[in-house]
Structure 1
């Protein structure tokens, strides 16, 4: 079906951390009707996220940091999530390893690919590469790179505590929910 989609216009709306562009596209539906849509799309590059897991302790590492989207959406802006970051020219695997170290202070190993997903394909081009990995060190209490404006709390939880936090809407980050549920399914089998 993508072969009949055409971009009629592409206009830069704004540029900052990424680019917001306005598009007009046209395509033909399966019943032959021609549709023209105008949509904005945000471009900031792809990212990688990793859920560090300690099998012996039954724990995972999450990070808590300010997320403007959660604040603007009416939620607590300091959300729990898996360590993640933009690829910035690196492979997804290397990015996951680097972000785990920067954001938790722990070295990860046995990196396992989970999925490559769009979190918001209607409005953003970002694809997130998701991974599970093992860790065996004790994390720092805080982390992050000052030059990137990061102040991150590192939170170690049991897998069951984290899963309960999904059910109570305490963990509301989509990539983290996917990773925790994937981990729970893999550990069951």
Structure 2
């Protein structure tokens, strides 16, 4: 069983609008990330073109996420770290999530292996592609490649790269407990919820 891939070739659906005209485009911020402002017209579902509208796009590159899973103990390895955007929304700020990183250089498999080792200290025995998806297509161009990584025991300490300001706590827990934490609202990161529910669905379908 595999999840659907995010297909960007919308021309396969003959009934779907596909005309887009970019009338203006400029960068309004260019730093650690980029923000693009664009004026566009797009084809509506009735076949007519929309009026010119202004849209903004947050760009920081694509990313990779990996759910580390130990099949022998039926446990998952997550990482916990401080996330300022979550804190500023009124939460505690420390988020429990899967290993993840920006795909700024190299292919997604190489980045997945590197992040698993740096953040959690695990070398994966096997890596399986689950899905590709947009994280927030209403405002961001970022796409994530999501993987399931099979592990047994850590090969180094992990904990992130201190020079980059990372401080990461490694948390291994039974899959069933992670699922209960979703229900209790203790795991509230979308990519992590998606990966855990995917793994749960696979186990149900395989009768394990």
User: TM-score, normalized by length of structure 2?
Assistant: 0.85
Mapping of residues 110-189 of structure 1, within 5 Å: 110-138=126-154, 143-188=159-204, 189=206
Residue 39 of structure 1 and its aligned partner are, at CA, apart by: 1.6
SS of aligned partner of 2:136: coil
- Gapped regions of structure 1 (runs ≥ 5): none
Checking the alignment, whether the CA contact within 8 Å between 2:17 and 2:43 is kept in structure 1 is: no
Separation (CA, whole Å) in 2 of partners of 1:61 and 1:38? 42
Q: 2:36 aligns with which of 15, 18, 21?
A: 21
Q: 1:61 aligns with which of 53, 74, 77?
A: 77
Aligned pairs, number: 189
Separation (CA, whole Å) in 2 of partners of 1:122 and 1:38? 13
Separation (CA, whole Å) in 1 of partners of 2:80 and 2:31? 24
- Gapped regions of structure 2 (runs ≥ 5): 1-15
1:49 paired with 2:65, answer yes
Which structure has greater strand proportion? 1
Q: What is the RMSD of the two structures over their aligned residues, measured on CA atoms?
A: 1.6
SS of aligned partner of 2:52: strand
Separation (CA, whole Å) in 1 of partners of 2:17 and 2:156? 47
Separation (CA, whole Å) in 1 of partners of 2:104 and 2:188? 25
Residue 17 of structure 1 and its aligned partner are, at CA, apart by: 1.7
Residue 10 of structure 1 and its aligned partner are, at CA, apart by: 1.4
Moved more, 41-50 or 64-73: 64-73
Separation (CA, whole Å) in 2 of partners of 1:57 and 1:91? 30
SS of aligned partner of 2:76: strand
Checking the alignment, whether the CA contact within 8 Å between 2:82 and 2:93 is kept in structure 1 is: yes
